[in-house]
Amino acid sequence: MPNNENKINAAITAVGMYVPDKVLDNKYFESIVDTNHEWIVSRTGIRERRKLENGATSDLATGAIIDLIKNSNLTPEEIDVIIVATVTPDMFFPPTACIVQNNIGASNSWGFDLSAACSGFLFALRTGASFIESGAYKKVVVVGADKMSSIVDYTDRNTCILFGDAASAVLLEPTTDTSIGLKDSILNIDGSGKDSLYMLGGGSLNPASHETVDNKMHYIYQDGKAVFKVAVKGMADVSVEVMKKNNLTSEDIAYLVPHQANLRIIDATAKRMGITSDKVMINIDKYGNTTAATIPLCLTEYYRAGKLKKGDNLILAAFGAGFTWGASHLVWSMD
């Protein structure tokens, strides 16, 4: 029998974010591909996204963790584990987590990269929380970071308008107050979706060659319509499932915190959950789809705007390549 008296929850006790200064607005895309502002806004909800001009994903992640440290009592030496959720690691190896560890001077930590595409943050949050709940570690930093501009084909109007660069981090710490923190997660993978959204080249399947580059295999490919169909259903189903499993009604929920891939997918999920748009965190208009960074970026911005309070029930939900998808019930733990 589990002893609930000794149960430890993992709570978010600090947040941080980094977005590059360079803004690419929809007008810019009108100048490079056959598209227009109205189409982009009505089909996706995106108005702007950011682009990192110099540097790599580790620089985004480092910026987010430095911001987190500046806004908390955490010192780099106290960090036990760094988990970097990303699909755009600086290199295949070493892990981006090592580069970030060295940049921030987290001299007592270990860590690793986690690859789960747009569900990366949710999967990394669950992983980091398990380290805390087991009692093995006290301070786990989970960062979602992606330099999507490094794998976007800026001649492909189907994908180039969608993605942006950003990173955002949370600190997980133990609490014996089991009314707060990460309460539950339902996470899924289904590899039968592997042909709808991928980057074919550069890996062990198709090692980089003149041919892979000539065939543009180092860029994102997405069958948008196919992904849209399963994402709408998948994200809504799992969000409703996590609500039911935790006896939550729409009135109990302070916010849906959705992965920001498409405003229409987000609206459909909120509708199925029975919640109104004022209870949905949105920043897709400013940043586009930043893959692993979208959910913590929302949490950081809404917390800093004074819109989140301790005890708020949040449903975090994501859907991405793989397919990977899931939803978590998180009770906010900061005043």
| DSSP per residue, 229-253 | HHHHHHHHHHHHHHHHHTT--GGGE
Catalytic residue among 26, 98, 289, 329: 289
d(Cα 1, Cα 4) in Å, to the nearest integer?
9
**What tokens appear for 172 in the block?**
């997980």
How far lies 29's CA from each of 25, 187, 266, 334, in Å? 7, 35, 23, 39
User: Considering beta carbons, is residue 64 or 231 the nearer one to ligand UT7?
Assistant: 231
Whether 98 sits among the annotated catalytic residues: the reply is no
How many CB atoms are closer than 10 A to CB 33?
15
Question: Please, what is the minimum distance in Å from the beta carbon of residue 158 to ligand UT7?
Answer: 5
Question: Please, what is the minimum distance in Å from the beta carbon of residue 226 to ligand UT7?
Answer: 8
User: Considering beta carbons, is residue 253 or 265 the nearer one to ligand UT7?
Assistant: 265
Nearest to 88 by CA among 149, 136, 138: 149
The pair phi, psi for residue 268, each rounded to 5°, is -65, -40
Whether 289 sits among the annotated catalytic residues: the reply is yes
Q: Indicate the Cα dihedral angle 109, 129, 165, 76, nearest 10°.
A: -30
Residues 99 and 65: beta-carbon distance below 8 Å: no
Question: Please, what is the minimum distance in Å from the beta carbon of residue 184 to ligand UT7?
Answer: 23
User: Considering beta carbons, is residue 19 or 292 the nearer one to ligand UT7?
Assistant: 292
Question: Please, what is the minimum distance in Å from the beta carbon of residue 225 to ligand UT7?
Answer: 5
Question: Please, what is the minimum distance in Å from the beta carbon of residue 45 to ligand UT7?
Answer: 9
User: Considering beta carbons, is residue 232 or 331 the nearer one to ligand UT7?
Assistant: 232
Give residue number: closest CB to ligand UT7: 224
Whether 37 sits among the annotated catalytic residues: the reply is no
Task: Read off the amino acid at residue 10.
Answer: A
- Residues of this chain that bind ligand UT7 (CB under 6 A): 35, 39-40, 43-44, 118, 157-158, 161, 224-225, 227-228, 231, 261-262, 265, 289, 319-320
Catalytic residue among 9, 26, 98, 118: 118
| DSSP per residue, 61-114 | HHHHHHHHHHTSS--GGG--EEEEE-SS-SSSSS-HHHHHHHHHT-TT-EEEEE
Element (H, E) at 33: none
| DSSP per residue, 150-175 | GS--TT-HHHHTTB-EEEEEEEEEEE
List, in sequence order, every residue forming a beta bridge with 11; answer none if it has no partner.
Answer: 173
Catalytic residue among 160, 259, 262, 298: 259
CA angle 293/296/301 to nearest 5° reads 110
User: Considering beta carbons, is residue 294 or 328 the nearer one to ligand UT7?
Assistant: 294
User: Considering beta carbons, is residue 183 or 259 the nearer one to ligand UT7?
Assistant: 259
Question: Please, what is the minimum distance in Å from the beta carbon of residue 84 to ligand UT7?
Answer: 18
Active site residues: 118, 259, 289
